[in-house]
Each structure stands twice: as C-alpha cells, then as structure tokens.
Amino acid sequence: MFIWGANMLQVNELNQYYGGSHILRGLSFEVEHGAITCLLGRNGVGKTTLLKCLMGLLPVKAGEIQWQGKAINRYKPHQRVQAGMAYVPQGRDIFPRLTVEENLLIGLSRFSGADSRRVPQDIYRLFPVLEEMKYRRGGDLSGGQQQQLAIGRALASKPQLLILDEPTEGIQPSVIKEIGSVIRQLAQQGDMGILLVEQFYDFAAELADNYLVMSRGEIVQRGVGKDMEQDRVRDRVTI
C-alpha cells in the first residue's frame, strides 16, 4: 500500500540548461515512501543531470524540489543528506585507499557521538560480504562488491530517500540479483522511498512499483510497475 503525505519527494516543473541547451524540460513527478520508483531512459536523456539537481550538486534553473513538504532548492548537498536523502552515483565513487569499514563510517557523518563511530549491523546483514572484507581496501574489491559498499555507505546515513544511479552497470549477474533483493527489502520496510535510475529494463521491471520514462529531458510516460510490459516500456528504453 502506498503512503501519501508530507514525507515524500515532489518535483515540480524542473528545468536545467547547459549553455544554450535545454537539458531538463519541465519535469514533474513524486517519489512515495515505501515504494520503488524506477526512472528509465536511454543514454543522454538527462537522467544523471536530474539526480544531481535533486541532490544539490547542480543548481536548478527553474522549478521546485520539495522534500517532506518543504522547498529545498537552496539546500547544499550536505543539508539534503542531513534532511534524509542519500545518493549512490553512477560509478560508485568509493574511497579506494580506505578500508571497507572506513568507507562505511564516512556514511555516518550526519550523526554525532557513538552513533558516528560504529557501522550499523543492519548493513552487514544486508551485505554480508562487507563484514567479511571490512579491513580490506575498497579499491581491492570487485566491481559488484564496490557497488554493495557504495549502497551500504549511503544506507549508513539512515535515509528516508535512497537515490540509485544505474547500480547494475558493469556488475556480474549474481551480484545484480543480490542488489535487487536488498532494494526490495528496503522498500518493504515501509520507511524509505527509492528512486532507481536504470537502463537494464528487466531489472527495473522486476522491482518497480511505479515507473517514469525520460526522453530528451522530459517525462514522456509514467505508470504502475506491473503494467510496464503492456505499456510497451521496453520499446522506449531499449536501443
């Protein structure tokens, strides 16, 4: 069951430009708590630009981003993290010279005291390989393990919204399945919304409660996840 209310992300008529190019064109959508919203689209349609705007890494030229009923356009990235948003960028961006445990502790930076010095056991429960390798340097992990580490670091901040940018990119099928299982578990807990940007149609279709399709900077189609096949979403996102 979807929970409507203030605790959600709402994007209203969002616009962004690079030079003279209109990259994001009046985007409007919502992400609900307890639901996985999948954003699909081919390369170059503006998906990553949108996520950077949501996290304050790029300024919004026009439109409004609301989080829990409050406009956050002026919030810096760290303020959005403090407010309960977490972002796993494409390419993971872990710290390769730090250990797995040190990478995870960085995710606790929004907390103080004892809460900032101990990795929550829930993260190791979701990703057992991280506990097994917690003293190994992040750069020594496989691509799939690094992705699990990046997601674990984001979860360490105990977010209410988790934003994932193509988590399956360059990862072996067995780990993709594990990551999919974790994403579903997180949504089923009911206290977190998930915005999943993905090109891998089958992965998205298996997880989506709701879907959005982007093309040329616009949302051109939206609907309920279970209807993706009959709505012919695959045709719009597959090259």
Among 160, 162, 151, CA closest to 129: 151
Residue 230 belongs to some domain of the structure: yes
- Of 86-95, 178-187, 195-204, give the lowest mean pLDDT range: 86-95
CB 143 within 8 A of CB 171: yes
If asked whether residues 175 and 77 sit together in one domain, one would say yes
Q: What confidence tier does 221 reach under pLDDT thresholds 50, 70, 90? A: very high
In this predicted model, what pLDDT tens digit does every residue of 37-49 receive, in sequence order? 999 998 889 999 9
The model's pTM is 0.92
If asked whether residues 73 and 165 sit together in one domain, one would say yes
Q: What confidence tier does 199 reach under pLDDT thresholds 50, 70, 90? A: confident
If asked whether residues 171 and 77 sit together in one domain, one would say yes
- Residue 130 above 80 pLDDT? yes
Collect all residues with Cβ–Cβ distance below 8 Å to 22 and sequence separation of at least 6. Answer: 15, 217
If asked whether residues 148 and 169 sit together in one domain, one would say no
If asked whether residues 223 and 140 sit together in one domain, one would say no
Determine the structural domain holding residue 149 and report its residue range.
94-154
Q: What is the pLDDT of residue 92?
A: 76
